[in-house]
Structure 1
């Protein structure tokens, strides 16, 4: 079914292009910072600690994949005047069923994970002040209050400031470990050492690859970019954001290669691996460097928390409005709507209960299955939408976009199968 009804200002029309400028950027920084969490940095560090600079090329390709996906989401919103959920819904009711299940299960488990991740560096910075679970609850509640009472403009400024902290800390660490640039350049040649396939796929597909890529178009609209005249601005914003993400990834790969690979230090998997790194940094460079790293660790985790609290709540509000328009009355911003705030509460309070329990095995399995399917779902549905009559002809995919989205879809299908196989095991 090719649904072509369009809403919004200037959908598919030739709008006067706005001039791209550095002062225009914002939504890209938000989506990049939200997508890069502590677990992604651990995965990058472990890849560097096991294979040195050999997989640097995979990190570069990963950034290009994310640029393509976010650009496609933003282009859909600007070219059609419709939201991404509008597009999914036009593909059939199965998309709504999947999305509803995804946001309910994923949000419940992710809420607890995000709170715990943000709490870890605070507990390490202020040892003995309070229990880790109390820190986690405070992080969740502070995220709830911040997003509840602030609109997008304030949210973007805070996220950009935290990105600045992340950028400064990671670049400082990369310089401090004194990388061997000659060896690093050899890592740009695509090579797969024995046992590196899983890490390679993870570097390409994992860093910054979450539901927040789908939220990019919603943040583009929240910024006030609503028609094709903003297309060049959106593309500049997206590229700068993921180039910044590339710097994060490369910097952490440098740290893993220089600090851990040479000395044979192994990190724990998951967010606690960053606490291991803090100990290594303190032993090698002193307490000040270790504490600075913990500040960067907190900025990385907390941007993911408040980014999901805001972006996925926007998506849920759009989902609810399609079935009950009265829930988001005309003239009422989605950030003040009942569904937006209801999902904020869902992300915060039920997961607080989960913090005090061992995660039920069945819930973890369902979360893993639903989560593994989302990135293939995003890449392949964008490929479908942007090659159909739903998108104005001038803004449909070209050969390069189709190649990138097709490669991303294939990659995420492979990663999905691998994750489901791990869960089955």
Structure 2
């Protein structure tokens, strides 16, 4: 990357942002979001109000994150550990966002996807890097997690409208599995980013409002919490018997390794890198890139705020309502147990309110996964030489094909295992381990492909260092625990 000339002060940058993306002329194909062309450059917004209009990738990320980690794993952890691990919830959501932003900054500056960057980190195994191989192995485990998310959605629908047979009976679960998977495939059949963003925004707003309002209203019920309960959650201990839940929660709540990876694709498809333009070494390009990186950071922080609010709310709800009753979500009865959060606090009438909220949370996660995973696998096939990733039509064709193939595959895992909580936890542990590899890749790419100008902020660097250290320690602990080598009383 050629070093740009010295930048001018912000006061000298008078660039009015366009109100919206210019329409594509009739008969002209839309620009390739993964290709950087000088014709596609656009001035970044210079005010907060204007920047908000360009947010979006973070909402898609929030939709993918909140369902499995927050509703299932975090609530189950609160039910099992009480308020004792509240500190881990805060750390889990806080430390990972800085690695996410660093990886996304590299993407905006280079126009490359995360998996492409991972392939540049040696040692290489054939045509790809070792981190790509690790991602493939992780995604196999994540298939169980996605099956668990589908299972949770299916169970909620089955309880609300059994259709065939008894609620949670096999006929009802099978019918609803088919209907849920078919609806996802139909919704995402075009593979367009705009469709994904709109669907994600609606579901994120719905589940955030429902969850946060319920958590804030708990003190008005018989399961209210006190300030001393919240304070006890910051003793920085891990109660015996909760390490499995804790490790899974750290890997899956907030931004996980797969969401960090996926976020680079959404930033590209939104247009941040394309609007910055190809790196021609000029001051103008550097200034545009800085502007769009600021927008990306605002987008990531907005997503972090949503994830943190939902994570804390679900944990507090589990600790306040389920833990005192010794109720821990398990198997297909997970939805029935979780519904006690509402019925025990608001009355029997709230049973259906919970089901609606659970469907919104879990369905949004399926949307995020079904939209992102086909892109990741298509990129992987491109790196392996099976698909021409640079060919827009070929890429779109494979993405659409995988959008049809993968969700039914995840659903099959659920129908055979039918234990959503365990399935989600397996994916969470795998995600926690992969986080360490992502951190290594971020530091390598930062050192080799990001100009010093863009990494001069000492505060952001310090936050990245702290974030990386916390992720590495938890990742190493996860590996040791998997092999029965965990240390400490919590193991």
User: Structure 2 length normalisation: TM-score?
Assistant: 0.73
- Select 1:346's aligned residue among 391, 405, 419: 405
Tell me how large the CA RMSD over aligned residues is. 3.5
2:354 paired residue number: 293
User: What are the superposed Cα offsets for residues 38-61 of structure 1, whole Å, 9 maximum, x if unpaired?
Assistant: 354333223333443333222111
- Select 2:316's aligned residue among 254, 257, 260: 254
- Select 2:177's aligned residue among 121, 126, 136: 136
The alpha carbon displacement at 1:292 in A equals: 1.3
Say whether 1:123 aligns with 2:158. yes
Say whether 1:407 aligns with 2:470. yes
Stretch of structure 1 that moved more, 315-324 or 118-127? 315-324
User: What are the superposed Cα offsets for residues 391-420 of structure 1, whole Å, 9 maximum, x if unpaired?
Assistant: 222234723312212321221232233245
2:328 paired residue number: 267
3-state SS of 2:210 partner: helix
1:13-412 to 2 correspondences below 5 Å: 18-20=46-48, 21-38=51-68, 40-92=70-122, 93=124, 94-103=130-139, 105-106=140-141, 108-129=143-164, 131-178=172-219, 179-180=224-225, 182-187=227-232, 189-192=234-237, 194-195=239-240, 198=243, 199-208=245-254, 209-226=256-273, 227=276, 228=289, 229-261=291-323, 263-269=324-330, 272-279=333-340, 281-324=342-385, 327-328=388-389, 330-332=391-393, 334=395, 337-358=396-417, 373-386=433-446, 388-396=447-455, 398-412=461-475
How many residue pairs match? The answer is 410
User: What are the superposed Cα offsets for residues 285-331 of structure 1, whole Å, 9 maximum, x if unpaired?
Assistant: 22332211111111121111111111122222222333448634545
Q: Which has the larger radius of gyration?
A: 2
The alpha carbon displacement at 1:27 in A equals: 0.9
User: What are the superposed Cα offsets for residues 177-221 of structure 1, whole Å, 9 maximum, x if unpaired?
Assistant: 214452355146343164276255444443132512210011011
User: What are the superposed Cα offsets for residues 210-267 of structure 1, whole Å, 9 maximum, x if unpaired?
Assistant: 5122100110111111132311111111111111111111111221232223x33322
Rate the CA distance shift 1:100–1:248 in 2: closer, same or farther, 3 A: closer
Distance 1:23 1:187 in 2: 40
Please say if residues 383 and 402 of structure 1, whose CA atoms lie closer than 8 Å, have aligned partners that are also in contact. no
Distance 2:106 2:36 in 1: 12
The alpha carbon displacement at 1:64 in A equals: 0.9
Please say if residues 141 and 427 of structure 2, whose CA atoms lie closer than 8 Å, have aligned partners that are also in contact. yes
3-state SS of 1:127 partner: coil
Distance 2:250 2:414 in 1: 31
Distance 2:392 2:176 in 1: 38
1:8 paired residue number: 36
The alpha carbon displacement at 1:384 in A equals: 2.5
> Unaligned stretches of 5+ in structure 2?
4-33, 125-129, 165-170, 277-288, 486-491
Distance 2:337 2:261 in 1: 33
Distance 2:462 2:213 in 1: 39
Rate the CA distance shift 1:366–1:40 in 2: closer, same or farther, 3 A: closer
The alpha carbon displacement at 1:277 in A equals: 2.3
3-state SS of 1:192 partner: coil
Please say if residues 282 and 290 of structure 1, whose CA atoms lie closer than 8 Å, have aligned partners that are also in contact. yes
Distance 1:283 1:127 in 2: 23
Stretch of structure 1 that moved more, 130-139 or 186-195? 186-195
> Unaligned stretches of 5+ in structure 1?
none
Distance 2:111 2:309 in 1: 33
3-state SS of 1:79 partner: helix
Rate the CA distance shift 1:120–1:39 in 2: closer, same or farther, 3 A: farther
Distance 2:234 2:368 in 1: 34
